[in-house]
Structure 1
């Protein structure tokens, strides 16, 4: 079998995978602009469902709650994750390798199990369901992503730059803020974007930890579908997907996972 044929087969296989992943999303986005409430064809373009969406106070309140929670989680996870990454980069201590390995299981473990474990843990320490629990849960999920991305950026950092700054009398804080942070800033931005996306899109942990009647947008979408599906859900889902994909593309652009910018 020639290399050219293998290349064509590989492209076809990749195309099928992309089609399988994105075809349902494209259909949903198209139906959000269809005038028919029951998805009747032929397609008739209309922005009615987006107009109704902007008048739906329940959805708008849930969206605003998701946004500000994601912003708070981003600040917390990015700050703690960057500090942890710098500490892991600079210092050697017993158990460091084990600690680094423990960053990956929270990413791989299904969020259903994580959400159940968080609910049981918070109940055990006396923390009721509500916004504080949601923020802590989201931050715990986002933190490993930030550490992995920032650590990847630190892999390209030249330690002699810090040594040169110290030899000139700079304090540890000054070295960090004037030398280290500017170099790893693309990684910090990418980690923050990952943290925002993880929090904003999070359903399982939000579902377990939110108070009834005070839900985030993904939870509201789920409960709305159970009550009765309307094309407004297509509209808000299309917006969420567009925002999430934009954030992840920005994160991929700025992180480059340790490569050259």
Structure 2
């Protein structure tokens, strides 16, 4: 790589990560007005510990994201299996219909969900946000798991069944373990999509029941506080840890297969 190429790559990395670094630094800065130099402190984490609004919103976000990850991965995984392993009328149309929700602006999706949920009596609240987040995450899961299925050999299950295994046993003993990295990746993707979702959560939230993005937006309108930097730093560290654990596990699995 040339010096110009390395310099360009460095600029891209700075552009991507500089705001995150500044946010983390200000979470440990004494000044409430972000004045320099940075004086290290844990004051904003202590203030966060008694900020019920941000804590409740964070718990709601994590709860919704966990439920979304489980439901979206289960539904999207089964849909991917059906689309890749079964031939039926309308399969191509279903595959095409799963992609547009990714491209549709979330503002339109949020408005449509709000109208539909009122029309059907589902209403707003935590349950409505879970349904909305799952609907948004399923297409991503289908893409990730579908890509993983394309790398698997279907004849492995056939070989197992020829040796006396049942279709269900062959799936759980062969296909599922091989597909596990893709399922974990899809679950993490669904978790991230849900945790970061603002528009749908904002439309479907009720007074007293909101998510962290909605609460941060409301707090910024009233006056930004470094407590937001503190909770964002905690979530960033937790998300990065999950990603690193997944990366290590998948790498170990790959090395085991090569040996």
Please report the TM-score for the alignment, with normalisation by the length of structure 2.
0.89
Q: 1:255 to 1:139 in 2, by over 3 A?
A: farther
Deviation, structure 1 residue 241:
2.9
Which digits, 9 at most, give the CA deviation of each residue in 1:33-71, with x for residues without a partner?
110111122221111001111121222121111111111
Please give the alpha-carbon distance, in whole angstroms, between the structure 1 residues aligned to 2:168 and 2:237.
39
- Give me the CA root mean square deviation: 2.2
SS in 2 for 1:229: coil
Please give the alpha-carbon distance, in whole angstroms, between the structure 2 residues aligned to 1:139 and 1:248.
21
1:130 has 2:125 as partner: yes
Partner residue in 2 for 1:211: 206
Q: 1:233 to 1:199 in 2, by over 3 A?
A: same
Please report the TM-score for the alignment, with normalisation by the length of structure 1.
0.89
Deviation, structure 1 residue 141:
1.0
Partner residue in 1 for 2:152: 157
Which structure 1 segments of 5+ residues have no match? none
Partner residue in 2 for 1:47: 42
1:241 has 2:241 as partner: no
Which digits, 9 at most, give the CA deviation of each residue in 1:102-136, with x for residues without a partner?
32222222222221121122122221011111001
SS in 1 for 2:4: helix
Deviation, structure 1 residue 254:
6.8
Partner residue in 1 for 2:104: 109
Deviation, structure 1 residue 12:
2.0
Greater displacement, 230-239 / 105-114:
105-114
Partner residue in 2 for 1:68: 63
Partner residue in 2 for 1:224: 219
Please give the alpha-carbon distance, in whole angstroms, between the structure 2 residues aligned to 1:145 and 1:255.
20
Deviation, structure 1 residue 13:
2.1
Partner residue in 1 for 2:137: 142
SS in 2 for 1:36: coil
Partner residue in 1 for 2:17: 22
Please give the alpha-carbon distance, in whole angstroms, between the structure 1 residues aligned to 2:97 and 2:141.
14
Please give the alpha-carbon distance, in whole angstroms, between the structure 2 residues aligned to 1:227 and 1:74.
32
Please give the alpha-carbon distance, in whole angstroms, between the structure 1 residues aligned to 2:249 and 2:99.
21
Which digits, 9 at most, give the CA deviation of each residue in 1:171-201, with x for residues without a partner?
3322221221111011111111111111122
Q: 1:93 aligns with which of 67, 88, 96?
A: 88
1:13 has 2:13 as partner: no
Deviation, structure 1 residue 170:
2.8
1:194–1:248: 8 Å Cα contact kept in structure 2? no
1:191–1:251: 8 Å Cα contact kept in structure 2? no
Q: 1:109 to 1:9 in 2, by over 3 A?
A: farther
Deviation, structure 1 residue 214:
0.7
Please give the alpha-carbon distance, in whole angstroms, between the structure 2 residues aligned to 1:164 and 1:220.
54
